[in-house]
């Protein structure tokens, strides 16, 4: 599940880990983290009642 906008509880980060920095942002870091969270026994869920507005790829433009 893609990290379009992710909320991760601190207890999960403490148990699983921080997202791995070997990945470039937007390139499989979300898949890797979701698999690690599932392996640690957590559920990964997608919420459909949420609206996220990404203004013209703002995050990626900051990296250029």
The answer as to whether 3 is a domain residue is: no
The answer as to whether 43 is a domain residue is: yes
Predicted TM-score of the model (pTM):
0.66
What's the structural domain count of the chain?
1
The answer as to whether 15 is a domain residue is: yes
In angstroms, the CA 37 to CA 16 distance is: 6
Read off the pLDDT of residues 47-64 as tens digits, 9 standing for 90 and up: 888 877 766 666 666 666
Residue 58 lies in domain: 10-63
pLDDT score recorded for residue 38:
93
Radius of gyration of the chain (CA): 13
In angstroms, the CA 42 to CA 19 distance is: 15
Read off the pLDDT of residues 5-42 as tens digits, 9 standing for 90 and up: 788 889 999 999 888 888 876 678 888 889 999 999 99
pLDDT score recorded for residue 40:
94
Report residue 3's pLDDT band, with 50, 70 and 90 as the boundaries: confident
Residue 32: enclosing H or E segment and its boundaries?
helix 29-39
């Amino acid at each position: 599940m893609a990290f379009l906008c992710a909320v991760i509880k601190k207890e999960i980060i403490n148990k699983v880990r921080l997202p791995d920095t070997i990945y470039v942002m937007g390139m499989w870091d979300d898949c890797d983290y979701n698999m690690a969270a599932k392996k640690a026994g957590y559920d990964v869920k997608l919420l459909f009642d949420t609206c996220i507005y990404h203004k013209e790829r703002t995050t990626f433009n900051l990296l250029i």
